[in-house]
Chain A
Amino acid sequence: DAKTTQPTSMDCAEGRAANLPCNHSTISGNEYVYWYRQIHSQGPQYIIHGLKNNETNEMASLIITEDRKSSTLILPHATLRDTAVYYCIVRENFGNEKLTFGTGTRLTIIP
């Protein structure tokens, strides 16, 4: 079973920052937070991951609370192409650990 809780759906205006929350209150000390997204008719796409420090890459930023029980994925300037289902996943980084997806958040970018 997925160890994360996400809102079912969200809307965001084009050009604005999209902030997607995720609760993972039972996360253990050696589990990372991963974010993937899935655009319609495509496979999931890796976005970003982190352990306890905030992370940023060319796609997004990941803010993890100090107690690590929740996190927020930030898309700084959302475009229509960011419309997708976003999955928050917790996972140990021991090589062959599978990803356990939940139902994710369906993000719709509004023109």
Chain B
Amino acid sequence: GAGVSQSPRYKVAKRGQDVALRCDPISGHVSLFWYQQALGQGPEFLTYFQNEAQLDKSGLPSDRFFAERPEGSVSTLKIQRTQQEDSAVYLCASSLTGGNYGYTFGSGTRLTVV
């Protein structure tokens, strides 16, 4: 497709369950970012990939959060033992280079932990 695709669009998880969120960036885009957006707040940075290399994971809130991009295209954000405070929209963005002319964001995955 022409845009960044994220799946699932919505996810409800029971507390303690593991979840995996998928991001399909625009084909050929080198840079990929994950953001977390709590209700009523702006997106907050989680992690950044350049091709398959994870260059910055300083925004991951705990060691329960793990991201990968093994072949430099599709990326997965995994959250282990989900907690209620993990409820948020998780956004993925990609760019051809470093985003100097803007990133393209997906519509996000809304995660609700009950």
Binding site for B on A (CB under 8 A): 2, 34, 36, 41-46, 49, 85, 87, 93-104
B98 and A93: CB pair below 8 A?
yes
The majority secondary structure among interface residues of chain A is loop
B108 with A43: CB separation less than 8 A: yes
- Cβ-defined partner of A45 (8 Å) among B97, B98, B105: B105
Further contacts, 7 of them, CB under 8 A, given A43-B105, A98-B45, A102-B42: A44-B91, A87-B42, A95-B98, A98-B48, A98-B56, A99-B103, A104-B42
Q: Distance (Å) between the CB of B28 and the closest chain A CB?
A: 16
Q: Let me know if B76 is at the binding interface, CB within 8 A.
A: no
Chain B residue with the shortest CB-CB distance to A85: B42
Residues of B within 8 A of A101 (CB): 35, 42-44
B25 at the interface (CB under 8 A from A): no
Q: Which of A49, A87, A96 is in CB contact (< 8 Å) with B98? A: A96
Determine whether the beta carbon of A93 is less than 8 Å from that of B105. no
Most buried by B among A45, A85, A99: A99
Task: Verify B42–A95 contact, CB threshold 8 A.
Answer: no
Task: List residues of chain B with CB within 8 A of the CB of A103.
Answer: 40-42
Closest to B44 in A: A101
Query: In the complex, A34→B44 CA distance in Å?
Result: 16
Q: Which residue of B lies closest to A87 (CB)?
A: B42
Instruction: Please give, as numbers and ranges, the residues of chain A lying within 8 Å of B108 by CB-CB distance.
Output: 42-43
Please, which residues of chain B bring their CB within 8 A of the CB of A43?
4, 91, 93, 105-108
| Alpha-carbon separation in the docked complex, A36 to B91 (Å) | 14
The distance in angstroms between the C-alpha atoms of A101 and B38, with both chains bound, is 12
| B104 contacts the other chain (CB 8 A) | yes
